[in-house]
Amino acid sequence: MSKLTHLDEEGSAHMVDVSAKATTARKAVASGRISMSAEAAAAIAQGLVKKGDVLAVARVAGIMAAKRTSDLIPLCHPIALSSVSVDLDLDGTGVSVTATAKTAGQTGVEMEALTAASVALLTVYDMAKALDKGMIISNVRLLAKSGGKSGDWTAREDGAV
């Protein structure tokens, strides 16, 4: 197992010094899903949710969350994101989200992509909870990352680690 970079020699948490790392193009893609009743999915599809356009608000919430990741995750570096996209796919049983974050920098954007996906899903829950309090958020995970010293990585399709 490789050394945990957020722990110093004494085992104390610290922010990693990235000043010596090369600036490279970096990208991360994360996904997740919220499952719900057919009735709730239909209401979202038909624009009948009283709070408004669920997918549009969730998209904006995910983008905003990616930009605020370092405010939420204590040891994350503030990153100048060059692009964040949040794609939502509604079907008869829920919403799947795919979030992509990009930068040219000294550290990766995995946490930004994961945060965008998570907050988009939480926003769907918030906006539709009056229709289905039993919705289930699941399978939030990193799908792929590129750039940096460790290079490219892609999740296994079967979801195993």
Q: Is 126 a catalytic residue?
A: yes
Residue 3: Cβ within 10 Å count: 6
pTM over 0.75: yes
Say what the pLDDT of residue 1 is.
41
Each residue's pLDDT tens digit, 15-49: 777 877 888 899 999 999 999 999 999 999 999 99
Query: What is d(CA 151, CA 30) in angstroms, rounded to the nearest whole number?
Result: 17
Per-residue pLDDT of the chain (161 residues; tens, 9 = 90+): 456 566 667 777 767 778 778 888 999 999 999 999 999 999 999 999 999 999 999 999 999 999 999 999 988 999 999 999 999 999 999 999 999 999 998 888 999 999 999 999 999 999 999 999 999 999 999 999 999 888 899 999 876 66
Locate 74 and state its tokens.
């204590």
Check 126, 132, 152, 158 and give the catalytic one: 126
Q: Which of 48, 63, 126 is nearest to 98 (CA)?
A: 63
Say what the pLDDT of residue 149 is.
85
